[in-house]
Amino acid sequence: MDIILASQSPRRLFLLEAAGLNVTVRPSFIDESPLQGESALMMAERLCKLKAQACDAADMTPVIAADTLVAVGVDAGGEALGQPRDLDEAKSMIRKLSGNKHQVHTAVCVRLGEVYRTQTVTTDVNFRSISEAEIEIYVQHNDILDKAGAYAIQGGASGFITGIKGSLDNVIGLPVQTTLDLIAQVKKAQLQGEA
């Protein structure tokens, strides 16, 4: 099946191709600034919809857009950690995650013509306490500037994790089964003339 991925993420591309989809990459570039009082969950859902809307696509090819954010301070509603701007911000993010539980929210929006379906998947992740020396080594030896929360579960940060509850591919950047379900939903809705 042909799909359009409205993202430059090599991890999302890998996951979709591994699921047997024929992927055309056509990233959407939108303003990803948070809104006043917006939680990480609300922000991820808003951004994925905007990315789907902004992507130029033919009506008969499903567009997949996603946004992944890490939320720390889950009990307080979750401070959103997106992609760090630089290594200093990356270190700050890892310090916030150190010794704490956080949530990874990936909101997925699939668009087919004017039909949209969106769903968010949340995974709980626990980090052990991480020393300053470990943080320095980690940011110097890992490609982290394009990753929410400044870490990749499939990379050097795997040694920080003491527990995970929920979908692993969600933490990588795209809950694949959820995405496939959404594709089926938009196709069915379009056939039935729904919006």
The whole-number mean pLDDT for each consecutive block of 10 residues of the chain, a chain of 195 residues, reads: 94 96 94 88 94 85 94 72 93 95 95 94 96 95 90 89 95 95 94 77
Considering only CA atoms, which of 121, 107, 113 is closest in space to residue 189? 113
Q: How far is CA 64 from CA 21, 26, 31, 40, 46, in A?
A: 12, 10, 18, 20, 14
Chain centre distance of CA 109? 11
Supply the pLDDT for residue 19.
Answer: 96
Extract the tokens encoding 195: 């919006």
Supply the pLDDT for residue 195.
Answer: 64
Residue 105 CB burial class (10 angstroms; 0-12, 13-18, ≥19): buried
CATH, residue 155: 3.90.950.10
Q: Amino acid letter at 176?
A: V
Q: Which domain holds residue 48?
A: 2-191
Catalytic residue among 67, 124, 146, 181: 67
Quick check: helix, strand or coil at residue 122?
Answer: strand
Considering only CA atoms, which of 51, 98, 54 is closest in space to residue 72? 98
86 is catalytic: no
For the whole model, what pTM was predicted? 0.90
Q: How many domains does the chain have?
A: 1
Supply the pLDDT for residue 75.
Answer: 58
